[in-house]
Amino acid sequence: SRLEPEQSNVSKSPLSSEKPSQNPLDDSEEKLSAEESKDRNLPEAQNNIGLWGDGKGEDELSPEEIQMFEQENQRLVGEMNNLFDEVRQIEGKVVEISRLQEIFTEKVLQQEADIDNIHQLVVGATENIKEGNEDIREAIKNNAGFRVWILFFLVMCSFSLLFLDWYDN
């Protein structure tokens, strides 16, 4: 509705430019009519505002509306506090998770060093077992040879005793 008078003024202005005004009073009357149409549009705009505000200003709220707004405000404040508390809890949990992740990383690095150490010990133990097995095989061979020599010695002693007994008879 505000634009309509301006369009009518615009449509009048080309006409007035085509016909130069004979009377300066006619120009002033057109300006006055344009201002009056603007003044008429102001109450219409205020009526439109009144529709949005239900015809009441901020100072004219009923006690029920005030109580309703206060309850809604308290509810919203409570929700915001709950959200804030939840954010704080989540933030604390994230900090705890990052601390645990750092500890986990340190433990993994320690385990890596321990695993390398264990690997070296296992390799050394395997080498020692191989050497021990070779020594045992050698000892078995030496022991078998020693047994043969003892057996040979005992057999020779037995024969020498038999020979001496036969020779003495």
In angstroms, the Cα distances linking 100 to 45, 90, 104 are: 64, 15, 6
- Band (pLDDT 50/70/90 cuts) for residue 144 is confident
| DSSP symbols for 13-41 | HHHHHHS--S-HHHHHHHHHHHHHHHHHH
Q: Does the pLDDT value for residue 12 go beyond 90?
A: no
Residue 89 lies in a domain: yes
Q: How far apart are CA 108 and CA 112, in angstroms?
A: 6
Structural domain range at position 99: 66-144
Mean per-residue pLDDT for 118-124? 96
Q: How many structural domains comprise the chain?
A: 1
Please tell me the predicted confidence (pLDDT) of residue 90: 96
Please tell me the predicted confidence (pLDDT) of residue 59: 63
Residue 13 lies in a domain: no
pTM: 0.38
